[in-house]
Structure 1
Amino acid sequence: MCLFDTPSTELPKPPVPYTTGWRFTAESHNVSAPTLVTGRCCTTSKSDRVERKRMSPVERCIQRPPLPGSKGNDAVSLEVLKLLKGGDGHNSQVFTVRLIASTSQSLPKNGTELVAKIYDPLYFDDDEGYLNPFLCMDQYYTHEANAYEALAEFQGRGIPKYFGSYSLYLPVDSTRKRAVRMILIEHIRGTTMADAKPTLFSQSARQYIMKTIVDLESRIYEKNIWLIDLEPRNILIRSAVDSQPQIVFIDFGDALFNRRRDNYYAMQLNNFLGHYISPLLRWKDAKAKLYAFPNWVDWDWDCWLEVEFAHTVPSITPEMRERWSYKRKDRLS
């Protein structure tokens, strides 16, 4: 039997509650600090595997509540409108909601359509037991909520507006409930780059898109946040085929703080925290054209980059150039 196989004694999970028309109330929650991120921080241990074999998924959720943080002072009532991503076997449950009522002064008016993202370990894809769903959900929630707060100046122009973090309590039986965390963000209508067809965009439009991505990512990096999961599926194009489409980054569950993971070697590097790092150092060919955006780039990337970001050359120091040298095998960002 494979070490991570689902045990035959495992009890079935209850139906996913996040369905169209479902109404629920959530309480505001003050998120704890971002969890540490190391090489195997979210993988299962031997004791985790024993627990997974002996306990039902629901019972494990009761025994392993999310990181505490602290309770806020507001409550919000919502109605699910449409599932965007979710069901059993997903890293998060994402759906549009209608704001029914709220005690918070920071939320928009009742009736506004928002996006709710719920971090529910019960329906998490744990890769057949290889990943610990509780550690993963704690990481995604604490990193995403803290990233939105740290990037407040970009909300509404580059990233969605953020309307806070919350807790909701789902009934297990007549006497018990389990807690899950949630964030509320602006609902942005658009198409992800992963779903869009690059051939429908002119080269100048695609160049505008890529310049916007590079510039926004670099400004976010200046805030000491490294978006290691910046790929087409996490980038929205707001307008259709246009010479200057609007770009919005989504999904910050894998965002790294202090521009690094929390392992010994990464902590020894000088990341020049708080300093702007020129894209000429961090956005070479291998990072952009050959990795995440091959279908969007059909021009000489390095030459184009040097022209578009020539104005950033004075900001580059010899120490920065050495830190992000492409001759270094230990380049981490």
Structure 2
Amino acid sequence: MDKKWAYLNDIEGCEVIGLYTMHALIEIVYLKEGKPKSLTINFHVAGGSLGYFEFFKFDTIPLPPAKTPYSPSEMFTKILHVNLYATVGEHERFEELEFVCEEGSYLFFYSEDEEEAHYAKIEKGKKPSLPQVKRMNETLPKELFSVEFFKENLAFALLAHGEQKTPHGLPYSMHLLSVASEVINALYMEPLSFDENNVAIACALLHDVNEDTTTQITKESSLAGNSEVIAKGVQALTKDKTLPSKEVQMQDSLERLKKRQNCVALVKLADRITNLGVPPKHWDEAKKRKYLEEAKMILSELGYAHHYLALKLHEKIEAYERYM
């Protein structure tokens, strides 16, 4: 979703409780109906033979845990109004973003200083230099997720996995759709934002592509939705088979998942819930016991990512004991 005013209208009038930065991204955490929400702003710069563009991209996906608090001389606490300014030519676009707050106005603008740490600066009291953009009456989607994104990412996964089968001899799509179904059900019970829901479902559909196929997902892949967050999520869900043992591979993946957003980490919970069914007939007692212990470790390490999925995984672990 790329409707700027849907995001800006949502944050208007809200209290700000946190401001974070990571690379060229800034996350504003605000209270909406008593619950914290995130507006992440990407200061996007693109140039080439087709022109030059400096513009803002928005989403509601929190930054990963490595984010750092942004520390201007004073942080705004309540956003009264949001104004967008832009100049648009045939081969160029420039934007500025103004937050009018109780303490004054704060302008997000592109810095011409090449040594600046970020593509854009936040400066209190700075006047906009571009024409104001007419406000649009857009709102964030009410749907749980995008069906179109689902279909596009499922098609990508099915083409990548080809004729691959599950350990029970079923088409691999059965596993992918089972994990995605667990995620969708959990998000219905305890929803995240529309953008986070789409990332979680995409990662559920694509989580085994890098590990089990010849296709490697990157942010340049033709994915539906936030391709960079999805690609990094799939990579974290992928075990590094160059490591010496499956135990080390699992722990390494869990550590990388803890560095990603909850909407990515929760997919590992859903994956293990799906897999804790009837074990393959050729598994011996030691194999089943090891798989159960792995499930307990996943719950212990990632249970924070989604309460509903954590409870369900706990129940599946208890039920799996009957196969011992």
TM-score, normalisation: structure 2: 0.25
Higher relative contact order (CA 8 A, sep 6+): 1
TM-score, normalisation: structure 1: 0.25
